[in-house]
């Protein structure tokens, strides 16, 4: 399931984003615990002015709600495109979680976030 990142997720976010196997090809450095704490805190409010609009979710197990990873949508400033991203714990790779999360993100984009396709894609 997708859920909002919330206080208490700091150690799971740190474990995920400090694993070199996960972040090797990403555009940010390996996270410290302090960076994970700041990331979780930042998810509690709106996107800061000047940053790209984004929606961030935890990919969690249905039974315990523990994080298997993170995913999200980052919207282009023009409003014409959005990019899907995800990061999963290595133990969860190969189980279809990224595919399922991507389907849910696309659904969110078109049903809740105002994205449309009508000759030209657009996201409000």
pLDDT of 72: 93
pLDDT exceeds cutoff 90 at 57: yes
pLDDT exceeds cutoff 70 at 39: yes
pLDDT exceeds cutoff 70 at 118: no
pLDDT exceeds cutoff 90 at 36: yes
Which CATH topology does 2-122 take?
Answer: Aminopeptidase (3.40.630)
pTM, rounded to two decimals: 0.85
User: What does the DSSP assignment read for 3-69?
Assistant: E---TT-HHHHHHHHT-HHHHTTSSSPPPPHHHHHHHHHHTTSPPPTTSPPEEEEEEE-TTT--EEE
pLDDT band with cut points at 50, 70 and 90 for residue 108: confident
């Amino acid at each position: 399931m997708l859920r909002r990142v919330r206080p208490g997720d700091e150690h799971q976010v740190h474990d995920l984003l400090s694993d070199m196997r996960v972040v090797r090809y990403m555009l940010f450095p390996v996270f410290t615990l302090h960076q994970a704490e700041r990331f979780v805190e930042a998810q509690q409010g709106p996107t800061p002015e000047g940053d790209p609009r984004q929606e961030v979710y935890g990919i969690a197990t249905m039974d315990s709600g523990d994080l298997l990873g993170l995913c999200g949508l980052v919207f282009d400033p023009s409003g014409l495109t959005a990019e899907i991203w995800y990061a999963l714990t290595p133990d969860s790779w190969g189980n279809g979680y990224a595919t399922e999360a991507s389907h849910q993100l696309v659904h969110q984009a078109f049903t809740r976030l105002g994205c449309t396709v009508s000759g030209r894609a657009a996201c409000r």
